[in-house]
Amino acid sequence: MGIVVQKFGGTSVADSEKIKNVADAVIKEKLNGNKVIVVVSAMGHTTDNLIKLSKEITSTPLDREMDMLLSTGEQVSMSLLAMAINEKGHKAVSLNAMQVGILTEPNHCRARIVDIKQERVKRHLDNGEIVIIAGFQGITTDGEITTLGRGGSDTSAVALAAAFKADRCDIYSDVEGVYTTDPRVVPTAQKLEVISYEEMLELARVGANVLHPRSVETAKLCDVPMGVRSSFKLDDLGTLIIGVDKMELHKPVTGLACDSSQVRIVICDVPDKPGNAGKLFTLLANCGLSVDMIIQSYARSMGNTNDIAFTIDKNDVPKFDKVAPEIKSIMNPSNIHIDEDIAKVSIVGAGMIDRPGIAATMFETLAKLGINIKMISTSEIKISCLVEKCHAKEAVVALCNVFELDGADIADVKGDLPV
Ligand code: ADP
Ligand code: ASP
Ligand code: MG
Q: Concatenated DSSP letters for 121-175?
A: HHHHHHTT-EEEEESSEEE-TTS-EEE--TTTHHHHHHHHHHHTT-SEEEEEESS
Show pLDDT as tens, one digit a residue, over the chain (419 residues): 899 999 999 999 999 999 999 999 999 999 999 999 999 999 999 999 999 999 999 988 999 999 999 999 999 999 999 999 999 999 999 999 999 999 999 999 999 999 999 999 999 999 999 999 999 999 999 999 999 999 999 999 999 999 999 999 999 999 999 999 999 999 999 999 999 999 999 999 999 999 999 999 999 999 999 999 999 998 899 999 988 766 666 789 999 999 999 999 999 999 888 898 999 999 999 988 999 999 988 766 566 889 999 999 999 999 999 999 999 999 999 999 999 999 999 999 998 988 889 999 999 999 999 999 999 999 999 999 999 999 999 999 999 999 999 986 666 655 554 43
Describe the strand order of the beta sheet including 113-116 as a list of residue ranges: 113-116, 102-104, 137-139, 145-147
153 lines ligand 2 (CB under 6 A): yes
Looking at beta carbons, which pairs linking 301-305 to residues 24 or more positions away fall under 8 Å? 303/269, 304/271, 304/272, 305/269, 305/270, 305/271, 305/272, 305/334
d(CA 66, CA 47): 11
Contact present, 37 and 201 (Cβ < 8 Å): no
Q: Closest Cα to residue 313, out of 292, 287, 339?
A: 292
104 lines ligand 1 (CB under 6 A): no
41 lines ligand 1 (CB under 6 A): yes
Q: Closest Cα to residue 127, out of 36, 38, 39?
A: 36
Beta bridge partners of 256: 347
For a ligand 2 pocket test, name from 6, 133, 136, 174 the mutation site with the most ligand atoms within 8 angstroms of its C-beta.
Answer: 136
* Atom nearest to 74 CA in ligand 2: 1
Q: Closest Cα to residue 7, out of 223, 160, 236?
A: 160
